[in-house]
Amino acid sequence: MKMKKFISVFVVLFLLVTFIPALPKQQFANATTYGNVDLDVLVERGVLQGYPDQSLHLERTLTRAEFAKMIVKAFPYDFIPWFNLSKYTFKDTPKDFWASPYIETLARAKVFMGYPDGTFKPNSPITLDEAVLVLSRALKITNPQAENVISNFKDANMLLPEAKDFVNYFVKMGFYKPTGDTLGAG
């Protein structure tokens, strides 16, 4: 039950942090919650570490590299340290890139995919589609079944076709709560 609660908190946090409009920095200076999410739980588990200035910078957009690190920290993957890597999956994540071991760990586990051109684009913002697909793979959700609850959102047609059922499932299960009349796709 504890793990289920943690996973729910983790999923909600990522989707909240990633896809809601930025709020002024001063609201987060000493935050221990974000929405209804207890950030202390994620900090204690090493999923969130923050920045040298002792803040979480929740107003920033989460990158694909940051998301990869958080997934590795949150789920029981066999982490591959950089010194054990001789070959890299993506041409834009070399050995000296801080997130390469996390990205490689998830790429080899077939949880986080790159692009057809052989890149990972680690510094690009993670999209709703990508986050939901990665979390679905990490949680081993393979065939989500839920009544369609996303078709009335203005940007539902912008979702990747392979992500629609998963986004719909996350919305239906309450893991992701869109604000207004858009999902945050694109």
pTM attached to this predicted model: 0.76
Residues of the chain with pLDDT under 50: 1-7, 16-30, 36
CA distances, 88 to each of 92, 99, 105 (Å): 9, 12, 10
| DSSP letter, residue 17 | H
Query: Within 10 A of 51 (CB to CB), how many other CB atoms are there?
Result: 9
Q: What is the pLDDT of residue 69?
A: 92
Which candidate, 40, 22, 109, places its Cα nearest to that of 68?
Answer: 109
